[in-house]
Amino acid sequence: MPATALKQFLDRRKVKYVSIVHSVAYTAQEVAESAHLAGKELAKTVIIKINGVLAMAVLPANRKVVLQDLREELGVAQVQFATEDEFRNRFPDCETGAMPPFGNLYEMEVYVSPNLAERTEIAFNACTHSELIQMSFADFERLANPKSLQFST
């Protein structure tokens, strides 16, 4: 099961979490509906390239990444969405598109929307299209050490 490494990572750090199994779903909104969560409670992970380097943008499922805002916030020349072919091999333990928001597990920077910080708990894909992990935002922040930037609408 792909979520095993993620759960071991959380267990070793004594993090309390809940595993939510749901019907197979692929888009963030479908996942939220399938798991009976509001879109603002589900954190989606979008893989971007910043001047050619892969990174994660983590935001509520009911929001969209604004690349221009990221460019301005980061003060860089180029930010674009990565293609699945560009990032698939970076996540060998995950189904494509079901990456958890822990860039530190994959040697990637993590940028988080402040909208998620408003939540006491967040849920996110657990490396599959049929399981989520729900945990406190504070624990996520402590473990992933994301940089908070305004980049979503």
Rounded to 5 degrees, φ, ψ at 49 are -120, 125
pLDDT (mean) for 135-149: 96
Q: In this predicted structure, what is the pLDDT of residue 153? A: 85
Q: In this predicted structure, what is the pLDDT of residue 1? A: 44
Q: In this predicted structure, what is the pLDDT of residue 2? A: 58
Integer-rounded Cα Rg, in Å, for the chain is 14
With 0-12 / 13-18 / 19 or more C-beta atoms within 10 angstroms meaning exposed / middle / buried, residue 118 is exposed
Looking at residue 114, which CATH number applies to its domain?
Answer: 3.90.960.10
Residue 153 lies in a domain: no
What are the residue ranges of helices labelled H in the chain?
Answer: 4-12, 28-34, 67-74, 84-87, 114-117, 137-144
Taking only the tens place, the pLDDT of each residue in 70-91 is 999 999 999 999 999 999 999 9
**Mean per-residue pLDDT of the chain:** 92
Q: In this predicted structure, what is the pLDDT of residue 127? A: 93
Q: In this predicted structure, what is the pLDDT of residue 3? A: 66
- Give the range of the structural domain holding residue 63, as residue numbers without chain letter: 4-148
With 0-12 / 13-18 / 19 or more C-beta atoms within 10 angstroms meaning exposed / middle / buried, residue 127 is buried
Taking only the tens place, the pLDDT of each residue in 3-22 is 678 999 999 999 999 999 88
Q: Is 83 helix (H, G, I), strand (E, B) or coil?
A: coil
Q: What is the pTM of this model?
A: 0.92
Q: Which residue(s) pair with 94 in the sheet?
A: none
Count of domains observed in the chain = 1
Q: In this predicted structure, what is the pLDDT of residue 119? A: 87
Please check the confidence at residue 68 and state whether its pLDDT lies above 60.
Answer: yes
Taking only the tens place, the pLDDT of each residue in 17-67 is 999 988 888 888 888 788 878 778 899 999 999 999 999 999 999 999 999
Taking only the tens place, the pLDDT of each residue in 112-128 is 999 998 889 999 999 99
Taking alpha carbons only, the member of 81, 79, 98, 77 closest to residue 6 is 98
Residue 80 lies in a domain: yes
Q: In this predicted structure, what is the pLDDT of residue 101? A: 96
